[in-house]
Amino acid sequence: MKCRRNIFLICLVLISSPTFPACLTVVTPTEETYTSTEYYSENRTETYLEKSAQTAVMSGEDIITPCVAWSNGALKFKGHQRVWYYGYDLSLLQPHDREGLKIYLSQQQFYEYTILRVFDMTFVGHILPPPQISVTDAIPPSGIKREILTMGGDTSSLDNWLNLANVKLNRALFLGGKSDLWLNRETPQILELNIHDGRQVAIVISGPSVPQNVRFNTVRTWSDINNVYMEQTATRVTTYQLEKPVMRHLSVLQFRQVPFWEALLNR
């Protein structure tokens, strides 16, 4: 009790002093709350449509019939007696990326030595049956490089035709063929050839003496290669940068002015 009274007296003296402040600065620790932003990564699986190029092959066959067809037993093809000529015009058919001929050779009635040759006559034109010559064909001079077609006996009436026919065969593109055909079998024999861009194609056969040994069917084969774009569903993983708010706490010191007596009593 005596101690408190002494303190009170001291304080009273200090307060009475003209230099003593009326207020004191008090420091108070406080806690503040604020919001900050955090960033994070998140992977998401997504579906989407993608286009892929695929190669599609379309193919087919067209039955063709000759526009020129004749035979002559007196002619020889490379020394082989009897000639059969079949000419085809493909110019009216739709062109394709790849074209060929497929020849189905039927069974022969009896054995005969048979040779089959295929020519591209596009740039020279078909050979008409002797002694016919097209008005668009120029009669060539004598002096043929190779006598592919020949004829025994008096040929004076066919000289112009033979010259023209040999010129055409010399300039024609040989596509292929088969020799010594003996088709004594149950199923037809098939010969396939690439005709490239040929529009006029001729099949020349020598050897058979009767039509039963020259039976065959011919088709034009074709194929087109196209790029087709197909849509299909695919998945992919995408990384996203996301943000989220975060509540944080911060301790700060708060300074404030209070009267001397309040500061003294709060101690």
For residue range 133-147, list pLDDT tens digits in order: 988 888 777 666 788
- Cross-strand bridge partners of residue 166: none
| Residue 20 binned pLDDT confidence (cut-offs 50, 70, 90) | low
How large is the average pLDDT for residues 156-165? 89
Q: Which residue has the higher pLDDT, 121 or 242?
A: 121
- Between CA 167 and CA 137 the distance in angstroms is 11
| Residue 111 contacts residue 195 (beta carbons within 8 Å) | no
C-alpha 252/C-alpha 30 separation (Å) is 5
Q: What is the pLDDT of residue 241?
A: 83
Q: How sure is the predictor about 44, in pLDDT bands with cuts at 50, 70 and 90?
A: confident
234 or 104, which is more confident: 104
Question: What is the enclosing helix (H) or strand (E) of 125?
Answer: none
Closest CA to 88 of 62, 110, 66: 66
Strand order across the beta sheet in which 68-77 lies: 149-151, 68-77, 80-89, 200-206, 115-120, 173-178
Q: What is the pTM of this model?
A: 0.66
For range 81-90, the mean pLDDT: 95
N- to C-terminal Cα separation, the chain: 18
Query: Which of 74, 72, 67 lies closest to 92 in space, CA to CA?
Result: 67
- Token pair for 247: 């509540």
Structure tokens at 244: 């989220």
d(CA 125, CA 169): 10
CA 84, CA 119: separation in Å to the nearest integer?
Answer: 13
Rounded CA-CA distance 188/104 in Å is 6
Q: What's the rounded Cα separation, in Å, for the pair 261 and 267?
A: 10
Structure tokens at 14: 């200090």
Residue 163: how many CB atoms within 10 A of its CB? 19
Cβ atoms of residues 88 and 218 within 8 Å: yes
High-pLDDT (> 70) share of the chain, % = 81
pLDDT score of 218: 95
Q: How far is the C-alpha of 5 from the C-alpha of 116, rounded, in Å?
A: 145
Amino acid at 4: R
Angle at 170 between CA 117 and CA 208, to 5 degrees: 30
The pairing of beta strand 115-120 with beta strand 200-206: antiparallel
At 6, give phi and psi (nearest 5°).
-65, -45
Instruction: Please report which residue ranges of the chain form alpha helices under DSSP H.
Output: 2-16, 159-171, 260-265
Strand partners, 234: 48
Residue 106 pLDDT level (bands cut at 50, 70, 90)? confident
Using a pLDDT cut of 90, give the percent of the chain over it: 34
Average pLDDT over residues 146-168: 87
List pLDDT tens digits, range 204-240: 999 899 888 888 999 999 998 887 777 778 888 888 8
